[in-house]
Amino acid sequence: MAEQPLKGIRVVDLSRVLAGPWAGQMLADLGAEVIKVERPVTGDESRTYGAAFLKGPDGEDLRQTPTFLAANRSKKSVTANLASPGGQQLVRDLIANADVVIENYKVGDLARRGLDYESLKAINPRLIYCSITGFGQTGPYRLRPGYDPVAQAMSGFMSTTGVPDGEPGAGPMKAGPSIIDLATGLYASNAILGALYRRDARGGGGEYIDLSLLDCGVAFTSHYAQQFILTDEQPRRVGTMGVSGMPGGVFDCADGKIMLAAGTERLFPKLCAILGREDLTTDPRFLTNGLRVTNRNDLIPILNEELGKWKLADFNDRLIAASIPCAPVNDIAGAFADPQVQERQMVRTVPHPRTGTIRLLGNPIQYGTMSANEHRAPPLLGEHEDEILLGLLGYSPERVAALREAGEI
């Protein structure tokens, strides 16, 4: 096995569903020991999200949905009832031996149980504590629950996505994947790595991190938000078309859709030559990229008519030969069938305690000498309880049995 950069770092992951678990999974991929603490019996809510479930060899439901499997690889699972004294003490014992805590409980929930940062830093001053909530620890909305679609709507993200006004089906549209949850998870893992570096390389102490889905949603609108800040004008929805380069976007070939980006003054004449429409390069409406963006509604129908004469594969090959950025619009099966995706090993097969093996989505980070892809199967509920409680924490078998009998784990 290659060296993993976070080997020796221990994370207690108290989070559920997606944003927090996504951050914890990133740290696990980088080599941290991530101990996932779940509710007894039911576990993380994402174990039941959706209609698809991993099945055991005899057909039983293993309580591992695609949502759970996508965000919890390489973790260890223990259970703890955080409403009980024994469950709370178990978490404190874990955190006393940890470097990082990730949690996404509502504001104030963990403070009532003595598991907030102020309480825990007393037993572990070097602790990095990351809280993820819908709206943050401050502000008038801080007590509200928050979810990805709410953040997509409130942040302005949805206003920039979807069919342009005036066209059939016009209106804001939610992104398919829970993109604000995923963005928040990435912001969280970056924030944690920054705090760890300060602590361990620069002699700093512990740190508290306050992240909100809404803040991350606003930040993730990126250049759209910056355009508004600069001009006070709402960016227009452009559907699948490019924002600042034209022609750019999804166009219709005879047998499928293609994404192309030929908006520069160097690429546009190449595209016109392939189409046999060199006249477009001298059309006053399309002389510059700025004019093509302004007059996109004139240019797009012309290009769709011309591209409709081509088979997608043939046109794609011609564009590639001319070094014009392009791609067929794949479904997910098409993406996984692509030889480039296969070469980069974005699907990994790993051992699973009940099914023998399982195929998992891979981490896209590829180091030169280190690894972010030594994946292990997402854990069964409580799978590592004895290992952690008896081994790491040194609990006696009698104490563990008593906790189970009392429903505290």
CATH of the domain at 271: 3.30.1540.10
Instruction: Please compute the mean of the pLDDT values over residues 398-406 and round it to a whole number.
Output: 97
CA-wise closest residue to 105 among 9, 14, 37: 14
| Cα 346 → chain centroid | 15
pLDDT at 9 over 90: yes
Which one-letter DSSP state was computed for residue 169?
T
> Is 75 contained in some domain?
yes
Asked if residues 130 and 192 have their Cβ atoms less than 8 Å apart, the reply is yes
pLDDT at 275 over 90: yes
What residues are annotated to the active site? 181
pLDDT at 119 over 90: yes
Instruction: Please compute the mean of the pLDDT values over residues 279-299 and round it to a whole number.
Output: 95
Residues 261, 356, single domain; the answer is: no
Residues 58, 104, single domain; the answer is: yes
* Residue 181 confidence (pLDDT): 98
> Is 393 contained in some domain?
yes
> Could you report the per-residue pLDDT of 71-108, keeping only the tens digit for each?
999 999 999 999 999 999 999 999 999 999 999 999 99
What values do phi and psi take at 87, rounded to 5?
-65, -40
Q: How confident is the model at residue 58 (pLDDT cuts 50, 70, 90)?
A: confident
Put the strands of the sheet holding 248-253 in their side by side order: 248-253, 256-261, 326-328
Q: How confident is the model at residue 367 (pLDDT cuts 50, 70, 90)?
A: very high
> Is 308 contained in some domain?
yes
Lowest average pLDDT, out of 128-142, 172-186, 237-251, 281-295, goes to 237-251
Read off the CATH number of the domain in which 57 is found: 3.40.50.10540
CA-wise closest residue to 392 among 76, 44, 65: 76
How many Å apart are CA 245 and CA 64, to the nearest integer?
A: 43
Residues 305, 348, single domain; the answer is: no
Region for 367 from its dihedrals, namely left if φ exceeds 0, alpha if ψ lies in -120 to 50, beta otherwise: beta
Residues 143, 25, single domain; the answer is: yes
* Residue where one domain finishes, among candidates 270, 297, 331: 331
pLDDT at 243 over 80: no
Strand partners, 13: 36, 102
> Is 228 contained in some domain?
no
* Residue 310 confidence (pLDDT): 97
> Is 298 contained in some domain?
yes
pLDDT at 236 over 90: no
* Full residue range of the structural domain in which residue 139 is found: 10-220+344-405
How many Å apart are CA 105 and CA 119, to the nearest integer?
A: 16
* Residue 51 confidence (pLDDT): 77
Residues 178, 62, single domain; the answer is: yes
Give me the count of residues in the chain. 409
3-class SS string, 31-74: CCEEEEEECCCCCCHHHHCCCCCCECCCCCECCCCHHHHHHCCC
How many Å apart are CA 91 and CA 33, to the nearest integer?
A: 15
Residues 270, 212, single domain; the answer is: no
% of the chain exceeding 90 in pLDDT: 91
How many Å apart are CA 312 and CA 322, to the nearest integer?
A: 15
> Is 349 contained in some domain?
yes
pLDDT at 52 over 90: no
> Is 236 contained in some domain?
no
The b-or-e profile of 323-345 (16+ CB within 10 A means b, else e) is ebebebeeeeeeeeeeeeeeeee
* Residue 256 confidence (pLDDT): 94
Instruction: Please compute the mean of the pLDDT values over residues 128-155 and round it to a whole number.
Output: 97
> Is 302 contained in some domain?
yes
pLDDT at 60 over 90: no
* Residue where one domain finishes, among candidates 308, 331, 354: 331
Sequence-ordered list of residues with C-beta below 8 angstroms from that of 67, at least 6 positions apart, any chain: 17, 18, 46, 49, 50
How many domains are contained in the chain? 2
